[in-house]
Amino acid sequence: MRIAKSGALLPLTRLARSRDLRVQRNAAGALLNMTHSAEHRQQLIGAGAVPVLVELLGEDDPELQYYATTALSNIAVDDSGRQLLWDTQPGLIDALVRFVDASTIKVQCQAILTLRNLASDDQYQLQIVAHGGLDSLLPLLQSEYDPLIISAAACLRNLSIHPDNEQPILHSGILPCLVDLLTQSGNEEVQCHVISALRNLVANNDADKTPFAEAGLFDHMKAVLLSPDASDNVVAEMVAALNVFVLDDSLAPYILDGGFLELLIPLTRSPQVELQYNACVTISGLAGKAGEAADRLVQVWDRPDGGLQSYLASFLAVDEGMDPVLRSIALWTVTQLLESNSPDLVNLVTSHPSIIKNIDKIASIGSLSDSELRNSAYTTDSLVGQRMSRAFDDAYGVDPENPDENDDDIYNRMINLAQDVISLVHNQDQDVWRH
């Protein structure tokens, strides 16, 4: 940009302090225009524009407030920009929270978006909550103006990342509002931000999570998943959240009894890789609860869309191309069913015409040559690094903090899973023979 190369940044920062409102506006607008690229943001910082922009937050003119908050929001996109603001502007959060409480709508939106960008860092996540940010966000989540709701939901999504914010958020009265927004808002961005915030809160919460269910979370989620108007992105976020919720013993029964299995099974055939993966992992997590709810899994064995047996059979068919990560999830699901101590489930799995037969073929892959191995099951790196479940990680020594794996690691784990299933089947056959 010519302004940056002409040496005009320093004069512009001085003009932004002018007593002439028109001059101030023009200078602040020019500084804002300079924040649209990372290179120019760094030049602005070097010219000392940040303190001037923060000073403009104290002006009474809404246009100046808007220019300043928008410019600061853009500066807060960069790690270095956020660190500079943290090191040099200790009063920034208080000023932004004041704007959220009382200002024009467009300044409110920009102030919240600045808080959202700042809340990319854990230090700001804590400070925003400590300085009353939650009390300011709650009324905006109840607004009838979509841009305000989107901005507030996006900010809350980032605040919910920090574990220490979980209790303050739950005690703020925001939870019922978030749950209601899942169905009350028809805005895709709002729904995605809200379900992500709820997922963060559950993942960070070591306390009793039944308040989430009692607030109607699963009723609202099911209504969205059943809606023909739900976008693919919203459905994907919902299923990713279920993948987290099912790990909790207090929430899993609500998912099992809520009819979510019937919704998840068709999604195992989704062309969206992430959605397909999360649907499969969530089913695997529910299979891990089979000992407590075997009847629910029996009910979906052959319906809908062919049911659980059709999903497992197709993912375990050796002659079909299949990502080994997805195939491993299916194998782990079979393991969970066999270990359920449910005679009905064990019988359904072992008497199936192809499931155990194909698992036996996968288990024998380890004795084949590399070329035969590659022809026996399709590999792809599309899902490398994805997690399955804590139980799976513990059983197979997967380090969730070091998810980088090569093809051989994934293949070997898949074969080990198949061999474990065959051992389970043989042991159960011997137990039946002994009795």
Q: What is the pLDDT of residues 250-301, one digit of tens each?
A: 999 999 999 999 999 999 999 999 999 999 999 999 999 887 789 999 999 9
Highest mean pLDDT range out of 85-94, 285-294, 389-398? 85-94
Report pLDDT for 384. 45
Residue 418: HSE in the Cβ half-sphere, 13 Å Cα cutoff: 28
Helices 232-245 and 273-287, packing angle to 10 deg: 30
Say yes or no to pLDDT of 230 above 80.
yes
Report pLDDT for 102. 73
pLDDT above 90 as % of the chain? 77
Would you place residue 140 in the very low, low, confident or very high pLDDT band (cuts 50, 70, 90)?
Answer: very high
Q: What is the pLDDT of residues 307-317, one digit of tens each?
A: 999 999 999 99
User: What is the CB neighbour count within 10 angstroms for residue 430?
Assistant: 10
Report pLDDT for 378. 40
- C-alpha 166: how far from chain center: 16
Q: What is the model's pTM? A: 0.88
Cβ distance 55 to 17 under 8 Å?
yes
Report pLDDT for 321. 72
Cβ distance 289 to 323 under 8 Å?
no
Interatomic CA distance for residues 386 and 325, integer angstroms: 8
Q: What value does the mean pLDDT take over residues 145-151?
A: 94
Report pLDDT for 375. 46
Say yes or no to pLDDT of 429 above 80.
no
What is the pLDDT of the chain when averaged over all its residues?
Answer: 88
Report pLDDT for 370. 47
> 């989540």: which residue's tokens?
141
